[in-house]
Amino acid sequence: MASSSSPSRSSVMPSSSVSPLPPSPPNPMKDGELKNWLELPPELTSSILLRLGATEILDNTQRVCKSWLRLCKDPSMWRKIDMLDLDDYDSKDCKASMCRRAIDLSQGGLLEIDIGYFGSDDLLDYIADSSSDLRSLKLVMCNEITDDGFSEVVSNFPLLEELELSYCPLSEESLKAVGKSCPNLKTLKLNCAGYRVPRNESDDEALAISATMPRLRHLQIFGNRLTDVGLNAILEKCPCLEHLDLRQCFNVNLVGDLEKLCLEKIKVVRRPNDSTRDYPYDATVNDLDSSDDEYPYGFSDAELMSDDEYLYELSGASDNSDDDMVDVYDDIYL
């Protein structure tokens, strides 16, 4: 049987005869010589530039030198366009124009695109006209996208596998259009601000998801107003679901048989009160008391900010509307 005693002192002390260290390898660069980044192989340079966002490439990187300009015009650089840019305060027209330039550079090869506050029906039309092979679409805080415009455009993305519609003024009608047009959809993120409001409940979106998206594997509905009825429908009609994020869905009572069913069917479940530390947007909970059955202070979750002031548009505000307004840009995003 092996001894359990501690190793002897001699076994951890350095030997009295120490082998000399091997000589240092020769420095391939002469003293005072700096590596010329322009001499890197084109494929390595492209790999580095791809880690930059589209805005950085179009504004700065392509202006460095002619060789980088050539690389930045390569359609392979534009298979994915990341212009979420939620902390960018450029005008919407400026950002939309830049996004169109990036789409043109993809020459029809665009596969993934992330769009922030400047998204609109017109921009979606532009994407659809040249990018029928789109696999991933992320729209965040795009208050100029409408149900009619989105529902018409999404039919041009039959290969779509991943979709995010966070803090956008879209209803269950858009979700039905997605389910009808995108049979390969595997990931849906439908996030909004979390509220604790009595009787502020709706299963419309959950029922639309359950009725039209049977192949979903990942579903994030942060802050949704669904109830146990909507959750049961999703569990029943989405048999492939593996990931379910219910954080800040405060109308869900995940206990008893419903909890058991959820844990049996889903590999990873994020509960309504789970930590939001890894959530990419502001997760401040709005604790509001209201006598209205639907929306406190006259606004709904779907109503978003005005173009310049980032304020909620009020659907039934009093004459003292200045006192009723809420600066949701600060509330929603860090």
DSSP state letters, 189-223: E-----EE-TT----HHHHHHHHH-TT--EEE-TT
210, part of any domain: yes
Place of tokens 């492939």: 240
Q: What DSSP character marks residue 166? A: E
Question: What pLDDT, on a 0 to 100 scale, did the predictor assign at position 24?
Answer: 53
Residue with more model confidence, 31 or 238: 238
Average pLDDT, the chain: 78
Q: Tens digits of per-residue pLDDT, 50-67?
A: 667 677 777 766 656 676
Query: Residues 195-213: what's their mean pLDDT?
Result: 92
Which positions ≥6 away from 55 have C-beta within 8 Å?
83, 85, 88, 95, 98
- Which residue, 113, 332, 148, is CA-closest to 223? 332
Domain contains 1: no
Stretch (H or E) spanning 305: none
Q: Choose the weakest-confidence range: 1-10, 34-43, 144-153.
A: 1-10
What does the angle CA 214 – CA 181 – CA 302 come to, to the nearest 5 degrees?
85
Is 58 contained in some domain? no
Query: Are the C-beta atoms of 145 and 170 separated by less than 8 Å?
Result: yes
- Burial (CB count within 10 angstroms: exposed 0-12, middle 13-18, buried 19+), residue 206: buried
Is 312 strand, coil or helix?
strand
Evaluate whether 90 touches 59 at the Cβ level (below 8 Å): no
* Residue 317 included in any domain: no
Per-residue pLDDT reduced to its tens digit, 306-315: 333 333 333 3
Among 205-219, 253-267, 314-328, the minimum mean pLDDT is found in 314-328
Residue 157 has a pLDDT of 97
Give pLDDT, residue 297.
31
Q: Phi and psi at residue 25, in whole multiples of 5°?
A: -65, 150
**Those residues with Cβ within 8 angstroms of residue 18's Cβ, 6 or more apart along the chain or in another chain:** none
Question: At 3, is the secondary structure helix, strand, or coil?
Answer: coil
Q: Which two tokens stand for residue 171?
A: 């209803």
Number of C-alpha atoms within 13 angstroms, CB side, residue 153?
20
Q: In total, how many domains does the chain have?
A: 1
- Which residues, in sequence order, are bridge partners of residue 138? 114, 164
Distances (CA, A) of 331 to 55, 137, 145, 299, 305: 25, 24, 21, 15, 11
Lowest mean pLDDT among 38-42, 57-61, 326-330: 326-330
Q: What is the mean pLDDT of residues 190-202?
A: 89
**What DSSP character marks residue 96?**
H
Q: Is the pLDDT of residue 334 over 90?
A: no
Does 205 reside within a domain? yes
Structural domain boundaries, residue 210: 79-286
Considering only CA atoms, which of 105, 19, 21 is closest in space to residue 62?
105
If one counts every other C-beta atom within 10 angstroms of the C-beta of residue 109, the result is 14
pLDDT score of 304: 37
> What type of residue is 17?
S
- CATH code: domain of residue 145: 3.80.10.10
The mean pLDDT of 133-159, rounded to a whole number, is: 97
Cα–Cα dist 65/274, whole Å: 49
**Contacts of residue 208, Cβ cutoff 8 Å, sequence gap at least 6:** 172, 173, 175, 176, 179
Q: Which of 56-65, 70-79, 181-190, 192-201 has the highest mean pLDDT?
A: 181-190
